[in-house]
Amino acid sequence: MSDTWRTRAIRLLLILIAVVWSGFPIFLVVMSSFKDVREIFAVPPSFVFTPTLDSYRRLGQLWPAFYPNMLNSLIITTGATVLTVVVTSMAGYVYARYSSRLLTGSAFFMIFVRMFPPIIITLPLFPAVNLLGLSDTHVLLIVLYATFFVSLGTWIMRAFIEQIPRELEEAAFVDGADLFKTLTRVILPLAAQGIVASSIFVLVFSWNEFIFALIFTTRVAKTAPLIISEMLSTADGVEWGILFAAATIQLLPVLVFVIAVQRYVVAGLQAGAVKG
């Protein structure tokens, strides 16, 4: 492409705008978490300052529940991701290799159910969950989060497993491997990219989800986004420094993860949304 210097300059400017638009608010949160409280609303805004860990110290003192809630997020996210990977690997394999009217019908059912707005299921679930004593438990959120991603996950796994040559399975079968062995020794190692791709979506969702956590947790299983939202709506004024420190701790691990696996995000979306 033979761009003139002028079109190049315009391109660069537009790219710069896009980068600032996407990145600056996040940068601002992380940067401000290291600011002295008085510096946070400095007028005009300051970008050069002596970093301090003061906000992080006070986060631990004033919101002692924050770190246990981070741990809850970790447990719930791990659980939901593992559950999703296990059930979608099995289902994705079957959809990749076999077909029947019933299977096709059930595949359509999976796509159909994806259109349901999650909030509506809280209505019957809320009393049922209270009755069963499942309210405010990790396992409830694990199962709910996984449920909303098994459909996408199955679709992604199917797309990846389809590309594995059947001959490999036939060879394993001749060697006397049963279905379980074939799956765990032949298929899954080769579909590792699919596992990563389908994990990303449920992982990011579970780590960040707000409304189910708001409705179904109160104390024991409360997640990080929920306690951050509480910091945002305290009656006696928001403590921005603490809020930024908490938000930074919550966002950095998953941000690093998403950037590390960015090419699988594209692959997953392609397999999940566009292909039939």
Interacting positions 46-85 with other proteins (CB under 8 A) = none
Q: How far is CA 134 from CA 83, 145, 217, in A?
A: 18, 15, 10
Touching other proteins, residues 101-130 (CB under 8 A): 101-104, 106-113, 115-127
Q: How far is CA 145 from CA 62, 179, 213, 235, in A?
A: 30, 29, 10, 31
What residue spans of the chain are helical by DSSP H? 5-32, 37-40, 54-62, 66-97, 101-113, 122-131, 138-147, 150-162, 166-174, 179-181, 188-190, 192-208, 211-216, 224-232, 240-260, 262-269
Nearer to other proteins, 32 or 199 (CB): 32
Please tell me the distance from the alpha carbon of residue 91 to that of residue 124, in angstroms, as a whole number.
Answer: 28
Q: Which residue has the tokens 């074939």?
A: 182
Q: How far is the CB of 53 from other proteins (least distance, A)?
A: 19
Question: Is-contact 227 65, C-beta < 8 A?
Answer: yes
Nearer to other proteins, 29 or 196 (CB): 29
Touching other proteins, residues 201-260 (CB under 8 A): 204, 207-211, 215, 224-226, 228-229, 232-233, 240, 243-244, 247, 250-251, 254-255, 257-259
Nearer to other proteins, 50 or 274 (CB): 274
Where does this chain touch other proteins (CB under 8 A) — which range of 9-17, 48-56, 64-72, 186-194?
9-17
Amino acid identity for residue 164 in this structure: I
The pattern of x and - marking residues 21 through 50 that bind other proteins according to CB under 8 A reads: xxx-xx-xx--x--------x-xxx-----
**Total chain residues near other proteins (CB under 8 A):** 104
Is position 98 an interface residue for other proteins (rule: CB under 8 A)?
yes
Q: How far is the CB of 236 from other proteins (least distance, A)?
A: 16
Q: Which residue has the tokens 């009217």?
A: 101
The pattern of x and - marking residues 135 through 174 that bind other proteins according to CB under 8 A reads: --------xx-xxx-xx--x-----------x--xx--x-
Please tell me the distance from the alpha carbon of residue 18 to that of residue 39, in angstroms, as a whole number.
Answer: 27
Of the candidates 9, 71, 168, 273, which one interacts with other proteins according to CB under 8 A? 273
